[in-house]
Chains A and B, each alone.
Chain A
Amino acid sequence: MKLHIKNGRLVDPKNGVDRPVDLFIAEGRVAGFGAPPKGFSAERVIDASGLVVAPGLVDLAARLREPGLEYKATLESEMLAAVAGGVTSLACPPDTDPPLDEPGLVEMLKRRAASLNLARVYPVGALTAKLEGERLTEMAELRDHGCVAFSQADVPLPDTQLLWRALQYAATFGFPVWLRPQDPHVAKGGVAHDGEVATRLGLPGIPAFAETIALGTILALVRVTGTRVHLCRLSAGDSVEMVRAAKREGLAVTCDIAAHHLHLSDMDLGYFDSHAHVVPPFRSQRDRDRLRAGLADGTIDAVCSDHTPVDEDAKQLPFGESEPGTTGLELLLPLTLKWSQESRLPLPQALARVTSDPARILGVDAGHLAVGAPADVCIFDPESYVKIASGTLRSQGKNTPFLGYELPGVVRYTLVAGEVRYEAGG
């Protein structure tokens, strides 16, 4: 379709664009700016007055719950949630049921996602068979079938020896490995950040050093193997400092945090609110402040949703028994905007963390709008507020500690490959 998006404020962080200019789309790609390309005749005109026209969001972690966990959510509902949230590309972790450790499973997921014609899905393959941490997966085979990286999701590796060998094997082929740093022994049994709040509430704690110890181990191994490692869902202020030092040293590491960690701390557990039960846990306010600073200065490369739909039954349990996780696809943009407003960051700098920066980590041509780029676009109103309510969330996961919050940023249109895949009020 030939589309003309007029009167919008184009913000394209990668190409340093932030100005009012019209956008022209043809054959699924960006065809031109300002004036229509020669011979262009629009089939549809979108008036983006007062709206921001940005690249579609790139989300590094969104659980779609297929295969195997369809009672929590389905591909249909979650892909609709994605485009409703302005997300046009997403990576899904391998912790499905069964885990994504076989080419056949990866193929099936890609085919199912493609058939829905909504956001683009990039599967992250399992690092070890069944995620059990004993045997490496056929990474090269999985890569050939579409895996963009390899990960253990939230399942910690019990064995440093295996972690070392897995990193070496991945480095052989130049494959990226995505790891959430967590020492399984120190963290065992814990459900909340080990600090004053957990002590008051009587909840078993996960100390911050469960993350930094594992992070130190990973960094030491990366120095030797040279593997491209992406660190997932940092939660501790000390981790940010370690990554800053590692980058200064020249190690090829990147990292992300989950959008909810930008705003909440262990104080938000309140009276045992299981919607605040997440992994990694919300840590202290000081940790949160250091994460915010790290994202602002670029030590932390990207923000993701860590989208994890959980059925209400699994949340309506005492805190320690409840299933951790929060729905996130529809909150990624609002939470990022809220952070950028509170930190007084220019919009392009904030949007980079959910567009061009995650695209770079994913290694795909996304998150930007140069001429010829795929026309994945998110058009949103930065002045309007969205009230987070289970009635209006499209995801089957209504589990979020932000229920009732009013957050900035209402998505009006989402385009994938030049087609409108979401339209507000439509």
Chain B
Amino acid sequence: MHNPQLNAKGELAHLLTLEGLPREIIVNILDTAASFVGVTERDVKKVPLLRGKSVFNLFFENSTRTRTTFEIAAKRLSADVINLNITTSSTQKGETLLDTVDNLSAMHADMFVVRHAQSGAPHMIARHVGPERHVINAGDGRHAHPTQGLLDAYTIRHYKHDFGGLSVAIVGDILHSRVARSLIHVLNILGTPDVRVIGPQTLMPAGVESLGVRVCHDMREGLAGVDVVVMLRLQSERMRGPLLPSAQEFFKYYGLTPDKLAAAKPDAIVMHPGPMNRGIEIDSAVADGPRSVILPQVTFGIAVRMAVMSILGGS
């Protein structure tokens, strides 16, 4: 089946998921992001690549953080940015998703950044708009969050350089996490030999091993000797109900404390996609500690998104 993200020339036309992307495309994005880090560190943080282009942020799911980083990235490429918070606009009046997209295309949108609660929504939009307009998935249901996966990979590459001998542990609600899925895909594509997922059975999706990971239900055992620990956010709705009894019990067995972190390598880094629930999945001592690279992740996130937009914009 033809990969809907690539155009006829094999270039990236949309970024919908990291699954199935050729290694060269991913490495190219990371290398390009490295150049943009330099841009973000100087006074004039803009480059003119997307001048005259319009980037529409279509967020069907609320997220000020992610939307803001995409907005910053687009503006640093000199693009015009329009934010659409769909929860309050036309779809409430019954306009279909595709009609909304068509109307925006008629307003000369060049790039759509889409976040939606339903897995597959960005794929549907990309099929509809064709390869001339570009769709970036900013998170769809449980399926994928490709720019997050890329910035996580960038962060790991920055601190650990080579994926070939790495051991990475992802902890928490894997079942509902698009961040986990995208990270697992990119780690596999970049040749990471040991990827572990840690959590209770209730938070593990069916057949998760088939994604190329080892499942651990014991956190200390799962963290033994790892180079990278990625903590996932536990959504409050999940904390009490058929999946988990309480936040306290979750923290006791699966929260990252200095004590549990000691099982990992002494120079292991700690990552989190944000926003953090302190005291639920991660202890403040770790979040603010010397191994945490959570803040650099945010900076890298802007450079990675600039890289994605500039590569798509030129295809």
* Chain A residues closer than 8 Å to B205, beta-carbon distance: 198-199, 205
Interface class of chain A by DSSP: loop
> Taking A201-B119, A201-B143, A272-B119 as contacts, is the C-beta distance between A317 and B210 under 8 angstroms?
no
From 119 to 168 in chain B, residues with beta carbon under 8 angstroms from any chain A beta carbon are 119-121, 123-124, 127, 140-144
B243 at the interface (CB under 8 A from A): no
Interface residues of A in 128-162 (CB under 8 A from B): none
A201 to B121, CA, bound (A): 11
9 A-B pairs whose Cβ atoms sit less than 8 Å apart in the complex:
A198-B206, A201-B119, A202-B142, A204-B142, A270-B1, A313-B96, A318-B97, A319-B118, A319-B119
Residues of B within 8 Å of A195, CB to CB, are 206-207
Q: Are B119 and A205 in contact (CB under 8 A)?
A: no
Residues of chain A within 8 A of B144, CB atoms compared? 202
B120 touches A272 (CB 8 A): yes
Within 8 A of B (CB), among A161-210: 194-196, 198-205, 207
Besides the known contacts A202-B143, A204-B142, A317-B96, 11 further A-B residue pairs in the complex with CB atoms under 8 A apart: A194-B206, A199-B207, A202-B119, A203-B143, A271-B127, A272-B120, A317-B97, A318-B121, A319-B118, A320-B118, A321-B118
CA distance A200 to B98 in the complex (A): 24
**Residues of chain B at the chain A interface (Cβ within 8 Å):** 1, 4, 19, 96-98, 116, 118-121, 123-124, 127, 140-144, 178, 181, 205-208, 210-211
A-B contact number at CB 8 A = 72
Name the A residues within 8 Å of B97 (CB-CB). Answer: 317-318
The 4 A-B residue pairs whose C-beta atoms are closest, nearest first, are: A202-B143, A272-B120, A202-B142, A318-B118
Kindly state the interface size class of chain A when it binds its partner: 20 to 34
Task: Report the Cα distance A200→B208, complex, angstroms.
Answer: 8
CA distance A317 to B116 in the complex (A): 12
Q: Collect the chain A residues with CB atoms within 8 Å of residue B207's CB.
A: 195-196, 199
Residues of B within 8 A of A204 (CB): 142
Interchain CA distance A316-B101 in the complex, whole Å: 13
The complex places the Cα of A201 from the Cα of B118 at a distance, in Å, of 11
Whether A205 and B206, one on each chain, are in contact in the complex, defined by CB atoms closer than 8 angstroms, is: yes
Instruction: Give A208's nearest chain B residue, CB to CB.
Output: B206
* Contact assessment for B120 and A318 in the assembled complex, using a CB-CB cutoff below 8 Å: yes
Closest B residue to A320 by CB, please name it: B118
Smallest CB gap from A198: residue in B: B206
Check B1–A271 contact: CB distance below 8 A: yes
Give the one of A194, A199, A205, A317 with max B CB within 10 A. A199
